[in-house]
Chains A and B, each alone.
Chain A
Amino acid sequence: MTINEIQDQIIDNFMLFEDDMESRLFYLMDLGKKLPEMPADHQSDEFIVKGCQSKVWLYPVYEDGKVFFEANSNTEITKGLISLLVQIWSGKTKEEILASDLYFIEKIGMGGMIGSQRSNGFASMIKKMKFYASI
């Protein structure tokens, strides 16, 4: 699926919960649980995303001209958040990642769902992934 097809699917899934914030968060945590386990030796301080209140580790793997992301977090909701980005960007080319527009964030009402502090952390994750796609 393309980046935008995945985004549209995420939007559809979140729309099912309408404004039920509790169900949205439970769903987000469930998504986090599905994230493949990150090798322990990649969860070092070097790969911590700065600017997040929770601990978030992000490790890029470059293969066949594509970028794959491994990720983990010490809190379930944040793990759900990073799993959304992994779902969208992992396995795409650097060009696709850098050119993409993450419109799903506004569409699903992310700001209202996670609050301003976590939104800043979420922006830091995006920035870090785009950085990994730029090197």
Chain B
Amino acid sequence: MNIQEIRAQFPILHQEVNGKPLIYFDNAATTQKPLRVIEALQEYYQLHNANIHRGAHALADRSTGFFEDTRKVVQTFIHANEVEECIFTKGVTEGINLIAQTWGRKNLQAGDEVLITHMEHHSNIVPWQMICAEKGAILKVIPVLPNGELDLNKLDDLFSVRTKMVACVWASNALGTINPIEEIIQKAHAVGAVVLIDGAQAGSHIPINVQQLDIDFLVLSGHKLYGPTGVGVLYGKRALLEKMPPYQGGGEMIKEVSFEGTTYNEIPFKYEAGTPNIGDVIAFKYALEYVNQLGKDNIIAWENQLLNTFTKGVIGLNQTYGEDAIQLIGTAKNKVAVQSFLLKNKHPFDTGMMLDALGIAVRTGHHCTQPLMKRYEIEGTVRASFAFYNTLEEVETLLAALEKMLKRR
């Protein structure tokens, strides 16, 4: 991959912050958008804007075509069997809430169990807590080992005949851990449970094949995949989606409405009530195509190099400034390019602000994973998360900034 050529496609990266060249290491929060995505947004509003699926005019026809084109690209991106199994949402949070409120409401009963992991984002905890409370179901948690991997030895004890849903993050936003979802899916299916995979972080890093992995539900966020905000994907197997009740009522999701009763539309439209986020969905296609063009294997190889340079650099700093000068949180063998860390005796807010003064954007805090932070007995971390447009020089600049802080202690 030619990183300079790639960077030329991301205009936002070419600016100064606090008089220093911007170094964007907050890619796990949101990724930047390539020029083609930004242009597509403008083109849509300048040339094509119309409501989709029902208009009897040229613009509506064109917009509908573009909108459905994105769905086809999504289908290929995740290797879904059918295009109708790909539903557009606002993002991962909406996708999970949709499943909890439709599949969960229909299928969970008192005493049933929903299994999640200790490293879930709040968006894969709270929707399940809500539906469990409503149904009298029980939320069970797969523990996390000190290095940030799931404690798979506990899996067999946690699964039971009452396990109805396993909702599991593919790659942890706080630790970077890639979970062995294949094994989890197999075990879940063996007890007849359905699996939802939170692909928020995985989407931009890991090749996805929902059929090969036998994933029941997968949720993605467009903005973490180089696309616009406000677009997400919910994949579900047709057999499951068809049996679930609708999520929201309104236009688009109906077949026929009368005051006596209403019949619902087919999937995917059954779950896309109201005018969708047309422009952003259309532009999202170009983000997926950009990632396809670079190739996930190339992306992984480069991001691993960035991550390894950082972790090796930290280990080097610890040799000079003391073994615990910088504590790495999340040292699983199999990781995406996300690294949480803490400087000894330094609050993550202070570290984050010092880095910002140097033009380096990182995330600080609990990363919407408060139970996980509690597990590590910390308030939060500093998190650097890398993307394919980051350079090794940028990683070295971050390491130099951290060294400066260690020197001043």
Could you tell me which A residues sit within 8 Å of B by CB distance?
19-22, 24-26, 29, 53-54, 74-78, 114-115, 118
Question: What are the nearest 10 A-B pairs in CB distance?
Answer: A21-B357, A75-B347, A21-B18, A22-B357, A75-B349, A76-B350, A75-B350, A77-B350, A25-B357, A77-B353
Bound-state Cα–Cα, A62 to B108, Å? 60
Q: Are A53 and B349 closer than 8 Å at their CB atoms?
A: yes
Question: What chain A residues lie within 8 Å of B356 (beta carbons)?
Answer: 21, 115
Q: Are A74 and B354 closer than 8 Å at their CB atoms?
A: no
The winner among B346, B349, B354, B356 for most chain A CB atoms within 10 A is B349
Say if the beta carbon of B358 comes within 8 Å of chain A.
yes
Bound-state Cα–Cα, A24 to B354, Å? 10
C-beta contact mask, B227-263 vs A, less than 8 Å → 1, else 0? Answer: 0000000000000000000000000000000000000
Smallest beta-carbon distance B17→chain A, Å:
9
Q: Are A76 and B347 closer than 8 Å at their CB atoms?
A: yes
Find A22's partner among B346, B349, B350, B354 (CB 8 Å cutoff).
Answer: B354
Find B349's partner among A19, A26, A54 (CB 8 Å cutoff).
Answer: A54
13 contacts between A and B (CB under 8 A): A20-B19, A21-B357, A22-B354, A22-B358, A24-B357, A25-B354, A53-B349, A54-B347, A54-B349, A75-B349, A76-B350, A77-B350, A77-B353
Residue ID in chain B nearest A76 by CB atoms:
B350
Q: Are B347 and A114 closer than 8 Å at their CB atoms?
A: no
Question: What chain A residues lie within 8 Å of B14 (beta carbons)?
Answer: none
Bound-state Cα–Cα, A76 to B352, Å? 12
Q: Are A114 and B353 closer than 8 Å at their CB atoms?
A: yes
Say if the beta carbon of B54 comes within 8 Å of chain A.
no
Bound-state Cα–Cα, A3 to B247, Å? 60
Q: Beyond the given A21-B19, A26-B354, A53-B349, could you list 13 further A-B residue pairs with CB under 8 A, ordered by the A residue number?
A: A19-B19, A21-B18, A22-B18, A22-B354, A26-B408, A29-B350, A54-B347, A54-B349, A76-B347, A77-B349, A77-B353, A114-B353, A115-B353
Smallest beta-carbon distance B133→chain A, Å:
29
Question: What chain B residues lie within 8 Å of A78 (beta carbons)?
Answer: 349
C-beta contact mask, B333-377 vs A, less than 8 Å → 1, else 0? Answer: 000000000000011011001101110000000000000000000
Question: What chain A residues lie within 8 Å of B350 (beta carbons)?
Answer: 29, 75-77
Smallest beta-carbon distance B403→chain A, Å:
13
Residue ID in chain B nearest A29 by CB atoms:
B350
Bound-state Cα–Cα, A114 to B356, Å? 10
Q: Are B353 and A74 closer than 8 Å at their CB atoms?
A: no
Question: What chain A residues lie within 8 Å of B353 (beta carbons)?
Answer: 25, 77, 114-115, 118
